[in-house]
Amino acid sequence: MAVKYSAPTAPFALPPELIELKEHAKNIVERECIPLEAKFLSNKWLGEGVKDGATEGQVDGSLPAEDWAHLKKVSQDAGLYAIGLPEEYGGGGYGALGEVVVAEQLNRSVVKLPRSNAMLPLMRGTDAQKEEFLLPSIRGEKRFCFAQSEPGAGSDPGNSMRTTAKPDGDGWRINGEKMWISGVEAADYLLVLAVTDPEKRQRGGMTMFIVDRNAEGISTSPIETWLVRKGHQHHVWFDDVYVPAGRVLGEVGYGFGLGQEWLAIQDRLTRGSLACGRLARGLEIATEWAKSRETFGAPLSERQAIQWMLVDVFMDLKSIRAISYETAARYDAGEEVRHLAAMTKFMGGNWGHRSMDKIMQVLGGIGETLETPISTFYRELRHGRIGGGTDEIQRILMARALFKQGKSVWEA
């Protein structure tokens, strides 16, 4: 993928274009998002999906539609709405690394600046599919969700997926059930992975389809979790759902790879930038609190126990950021990064959560209130060890790389 940034001028440094982009995103978050946090956290979720609101289903709060509309305009006017997507499709052209750099800044606030949810598999479509689906999704006119996980096939979809698609005239009939599907109610279309050859399965027997959310035979049921209220994650059932032949994305039988690319770059890699943004903001809040909060005649910042906890957070943050940058830059260079994306997700979920736990401990009772976004950050980072593939799955992916690719994995 052609990207619009130059090589770093020094080891371990971002190129100047991305440093400027980072500061641009940070300033917008400080000016537009953080001032809305008190309003967001003081309002219970409205119970209605707001398509432009990235956090419309969050437990902790909500904003009215007019605020999300304003933030969407801010995002678009600032050039951040589709910053990582290719310029030829109307994106910013800054690639996965630019996306990671911007996302960290946006993840400093519990109020997320709305962004395009254009999905990578759509870039592998035909010219007609790009015109009908990709370009409108980049502009924010159409929304998509990814439907792979099933009740018995979350961690091992290649071998355990039961949803099938069978030829029917000029199209296909899909039958089966998906689970933990995020954003269904706000979506116009689903990218559905289904088995088209049960003998070949993930090696040439799974196909991705663009399925109209309102197609006959689709039914849904919301799932309520400690992260989101009803309306964000869903069961989705497909009962003889007809899909025209022109809605096959990519080649018949080769949808599994499309799904894996989406998972690696638009799910697992994002867990790194999520953790970095959350930890950076949390560290900022905790250090200020430690300097101003006195116990037994001295500020908390002079207590070694507090210092060491925050130093641990500092080290985790720097480490997660480093692997996130490397994974993104290698992907932009055309390298296979599934094992690095797994590492990024594992570190973002595990190290991110353990550090947010320390931030909460430093803050004490104030960290459990909704006066700060820390309790929201805490739950999100704990979820990072499950959503998008459990810790155990990420370890399996990394182990495969060790034994299949050998020392080339760890020597560079």
Residue 186's Cβ-side half-sphere holds a number of Cα atoms within 13 Å equal to 26
Tokens of 24: 């641009």
Q: What are the percentages of helix, strand and coil residues in the chain, rounded to 5?
A: 50, 15, 35
Measured CA to CA, the distance from residue 141 to residue 376 in angstroms comes to 29
CA distances from residue 252 to 149, 163, 172, 207, 246 in whole angstroms, order as listed: 20, 15, 11, 5, 11
Instruction: Please give the pLDDT value at position 378.
Output: 95
Report whether pLDDT(159) > 50. Answer: yes
What pTM does this model have?
0.92
Tokens of 218: 């689709």
Instruction: Please give the pLDDT value at position 337.
Output: 96
Report whether pLDDT(18) > 70. Answer: yes
Radius of gyration of the chain from its Cα atoms, rounded to whole angstroms: 21
Three-state secondary structure call for residue 122: helix
Question: What domains lie within the chain, and their CATH numbers?
Answer: 16-118 (1.10.540), 144-249 (2.40.110.10), 257-408 (1.20.140.10)
Q: Tell me how far apart the terminal alpha carbons of the chain are, to the nearest angstrom.
A: 22
Element (H, E) at 295: strand 294-295
Tokens of 210: 């663009």
Instruction: Please give the pLDDT value at position 70.
Output: 95
53-80 tens-digit pLDDT: 444 445 567 888 899 999 999 999 999 9
Question: Which residues, listed in sequence order, are joined to residue 221 by a DSSP beta bridge?
Answer: 235
At 178, give phi and psi (nearest 5°): -115, 160
User: For residue 258, how many other CB atoms are within 10 A of its CB?
Assistant: 24
Question: Which residues, listed in sequence order, are joined to residue 53 by a DSSP beta bridge?
Answer: none
Three-state secondary structure call for residue 173: strand
Measured CA to CA, the distance from residue 149 to residue 192 in angstroms comes to 10
pLDDT band for position 9 (50/70/90)? low
Mean of pLDDT values over 356-381: 93
Residue 367's Cβ-side half-sphere holds a number of Cα atoms within 13 Å equal to 21
CB-based burial label for 12 (10 Å; 0-12, 13-18, 19+): exposed
Dihedral sign from CA coordinates of 389, 136, 84, 314: negative
Report whether pLDDT(245) > 80. Answer: yes
Instruction: Please give the pLDDT value at position 56.
Output: 45
Three-state secondary structure call for residue 219: strand
Cα 320 versus chain centre, distance = 15
286-338 tens-digit pLDDT: 999 999 988 888 889 999 999 999 999 999 999 999 999 999 999 999 999 99
Measured CA to CA, the distance from residue 196 to residue 204 in angstroms comes to 9
Element (H, E) at 218: strand 218-223
Mean of pLDDT values over 142-166: 89
User: For residue 76, how many other CB atoms are within 10 A of its CB?
Assistant: 16
pLDDT band for position 81 (50/70/90)? very high
Three-state secondary structure call for residue 323: helix
342-359 tens-digit pLDDT: 999 999 999 999 999 999
Which among 115, 112, 216 is positioned nearest to 171, based on CA atoms?
A: 216
Which among 97, 3, 60, 67 is positioned nearest to 377, based on CA atoms?
A: 60
98-135 tens-digit pLDDT: 999 999 999 999 998 999 989 999 999 999 999 999 99
Which among 308, 390, 399, 315 is positioned nearest to 349, based on CA atoms?
A: 390
Measured CA to CA, the distance from residue 407 to residue 404 in angstroms comes to 9
Tell me the pLDDT of the chain averaged across its residues. Answer: 91
- Classify 191 in phi/psi space as left (phi over 0), alpha (psi -120 to 50) or beta: beta
197-226 tens-digit pLDDT: 999 999 999 999 999 999 999 999 988 887
Measured CA to CA, the distance from residue 324 to residue 303 in angstroms comes to 32
Q: What's the one-letter identity of residue 391?
A: D
* % of the chain with per-residue pLDDT over 70: 93
CB 217 within 8 A of CB 242: yes
